[in-house]
Chain A
Amino acid sequence: DAGITQSPRHKVTETGTPVTLRCHQTENHRYMYWYRQDPGHGLRLIHYSYGVKDTDKGEVSDGYSVSRSKTEDFLLTLESATSSQTSVYFCAISTGTGDTEAFFGQGTRLTVV
């Protein structure tokens, strides 16, 4: 498996609280992605990064922010968690060159109560 670690793996939080999820890679890949997975919706792209301090919005970015201060870490922050953000969050990495694919982390199950 590619060197991707997501933390925490499980979290329960209250509505209105801030939450930060971390994705850490040891592969030195340029591209990093955050997705949420919900039944019937597949994986929807939240934000992605194409380099240190270079990020862009995905399909469902409202209510989320990201930061990438170094190559290996990509943080996803819910500034004020809502119940609609209860989901499984996956991080992915990719070199973005050649014929390489994206590799996925194990996921973080977030429950907002």
Chain B
Amino acid sequence: AQSVSQHNHHVILSEAASLELGCNYSYGGTVNLFWYVQYPGQHLQLLLKYFSGDPLVKGIKGFEAEFIKSKFSFNLRKPSVQGSDTAEYFCAVLLSGGYNMLIFGAGTRLAVHP
């Protein structure tokens, strides 16, 4: 079955530290990839997306992600985090081979401390 794995469930960082969140998926067909963020008490918002072209994609708030097809990975990065980045982050994969099934990873809860 298709799945999305996020390696870190909880991450704690100090402000200005660098961030990398891992995401791997298992699906052999064409995929579109997303990172969403959920701030406390809110719904999901898109950080960035990859559909085709340059595998390094830039999103909002200084986030970027790199699609490595050979590794089935789409890791999220930010060079320097801020307290306002405290949130839960979800990797998602759109399986384009059938009826556009969109599945999510379990999420990574990030806490950024001063």
List A residues at the B interface (Cβ < 8 Å): 31, 33, 35, 40-45, 48, 50, 54, 56, 58-59, 90, 92, 94, 96, 98-99, 101-102, 104-107
Docked pose: A101 CA to B94 CA in angstroms = 9
A41-B43 contact, Cβ under 8 Å, with A48-B99, A58-B101: no
For chain B, what secondary structure do more than half of its interface residues adopt (helix, strand, loop), or is it mixed? strand
Give the contacting residue for A35; candidates B9, B46, B94, B104; CB below 8 A: B104
**Partner pick for A101 among B49, B52, B90, B103, CB 8 A cutoff:** B49
Q: What are 21 inter-chain pairs, A to B, with CB distance below 8 A?
A: A31-B100, A40-B106, A42-B90, A42-B104, A43-B107, A44-B104, A48-B101, A48-B102, A50-B100, A56-B99, A58-B101, A94-B100, A98-B51, A99-B52, A101-B34, A101-B46, A102-B34, A102-B102, A104-B36, A104-B44, A106-B43
Contacts of A35 in B (CB 8 A): 104
**Does B105 have its Cβ within 8 Å of any Cβ on chain A?**
yes
Q: How many residues of B contact A (CB 8 A)?
A: 24
- Contact A45:B101 (CB < 8 A) given known A90-B44, A99-B51, A107-B43: yes
Q: Give chain A residues whose Cβ lies under 8 Å from the Cβ of B43.
A: 90, 104-107
Interface residues of B (CB under 8 A from A): 6, 9, 32, 34, 36, 43-46, 49, 51-52, 90, 92, 94, 99-107
